[in-house]
Amino acid sequence: MARPRWRVPDVRLAGVGVVLVAAWVGIGVRLVDVQALSADQYAGREGVAVEFFGRSVSTPRGPAALAQSQEGAEDQLDDGAHQMDARNIDASDLVIGIAASGTTPWVRSALARAKARGATTAIVACSPPPPDTLEVTDFQIVVLVGPEAITGSTRLKAGTATKLVLNAITTGAMVRLGKTHGNLMVDLLATNDKLRDRSERIVMEVTGLAREAARELIEHAGGRVKTALVMHTLGVDAADAERRLADAGGVIRRLAPAPPAP
């Protein structure tokens, strides 16, 4: 079946492209970002934040580019394609290229190879991408931010806009994957004092339990908030709650249709 091709021409419609890409990830597709230079830091931080749903970041010259710009690396055409081969990119992947100008050779090479290997591809850019980039992408999210205050310094408006788009994509994907319930981050494992307190407050808010009861419920759930909420809502033990969550794709709303209290 042919994939749809979506072009998002300006910032007012960027949300449409974000929803489409997030929906693609929400059905279990692995998400891989490819970008060069200043975009690395933004995408790298996003990758760390959401690594639990199979997302990875690929940059010229590897992880070093996340800490220090690798000038000239963006022109290495062969390396972009090579990294897609090294990651065994295939039809189960969604590869997003990040390039403020939409013309970065390394990103274009990576997208072309990813496309040839059967992946779904997208570009996030702040200028209209050229035809050869459009040809190798299924989705184009183009946020036209205009000239930078300091000419050529795309870490300013372009970098900020790119971060917002990536943040929306990953947040949308996490919502579709059941990491949230209403506006609460429920796919949470209480592993430190801050998270234990947050877990208890979430369970208290959703269930109406007092703190001590919420704490006991979370303990019986192995520290997992989602499991605790399903246990309370359905009146089941932890093992049964985990099985039901797995059958529901990890989405609490499929087991308990009513939204959490506002």
Burial class of residue 196, CB neighbours in 10 A (0-12, 13-18, 19+): middle
Go through the chain and tell me how many residues it has: 262
Tell me the C-alpha distance between 137 and 92, whole Å.
15
Neighbours of 163 (CB within 10 A): 16
* CA-CA-CA-CA torsion sign (66, 72, 75, 76): negative
51 catalytic, yes or no?
A: yes
Query: Which of 121, 125, 120 has its CA nearest to residue 99?
Result: 125
Q: Which residues have C-beta within 8 Å of that of residue 176, sequence separation ≥ 6? A: 22, 23, 25, 26, 27
71 catalytic, yes or no?
A: no
**Catalytic residue from among 51, 71, 135, 219:** 51
**Catalytic residue from among 46, 74, 200, 242:** 74
Burial class of residue 1, CB neighbours in 10 A (0-12, 13-18, 19+): exposed
Query: Which of 65, 142, 147 has its CA nearest to residue 106?
Result: 65
Residues involved in catalysis: 51, 74
